[in-house]
Amino acid sequence: MKELLEGVDYFHERGIMHCDMKPANILLTNGGHIKIADFGISIIMPSREYRSTRYGDTRGYTAPEVELPTEKGFNQTIDIYALGMIADWLRGVRLSNYDDASPALRAFIGLSAAKKPEHRPTAKELLQHDFLTQATSDADDDLDRMLSGTVPSAN
C-alpha cells in the first residue's frame, strides 16, 4: 500500500488526477513493485483549485461526489477515495472479518474512503498514517494476512 500511495503522491504533486484507480489498474512487476496503469482518462490539472466533472465510472471505487455530481465538480480526492476502497478490497480478499484487521488498518480505510471529500487526507498525509509507519508489526501482520501466498487478480 505504501508503494501505491507513493505513486499516487508522485502524480498528484505533478497536478495529475488518475480518475480511474481500481485493482485492475495496479500492476505488479516481477520484482514485486507496484506500477499504476491506464492513465487514459487522467486529467492534468492546471491549478490546485481545478475541479473536473470527468471520471471513469468503476462501481465500488467511485467516490460519492462523482456518483452525485454537482456544478463544482471534484478534485484529486477521488483518487484517495478509490485507494481506500482498494485497501478495503484487499482486506476483504484476505481477512474474512473486518474486525480481524488492526485498528490502524480500519482507521486508514475509514479516512481514505471518507464520504465527504474534504475529510480525506492527501496521499502525502496518508504516507504518514499509523498503518504505514507504526513501530509495531500490526501493519505487517495485516499485509501478510491480506496477501499471503496470493497476488490479487486484476480482473
What domain range is 123 assigned to?
2-147
What residues contact residue 134 under an 8 Å CB cut-off, 6+ apart?
Answer: 104
Tens digits of per-residue pLDDT, 29-67? 888 899 999 998 888 877 666 666 666 667 788 888 877
Which CATH number does the domain housing residue 22 bear? 1.10.510.10
Catalytic residue at 140?
Answer: no
Domain annotation covers residue 152: no
Residue 153 lies in a domain: no
Instruction: Spot the catalytic one: 9, 20, 142, 144.
Output: 20
Residues 6+ apart with CB under 8 A from 109: 84, 87, 88, 91, 101
Strands 26-28, 34-36: pairing kind: antiparallel
- Residues with Cβ < 8 Å from 133, sequence gap 6 or more? 127
Tens of pLDDT, residue by residue over 30-40, are 888 999 999 98
- Is 117 contained in some domain? yes
Confirm whether 121 is domain-assigned.
yes
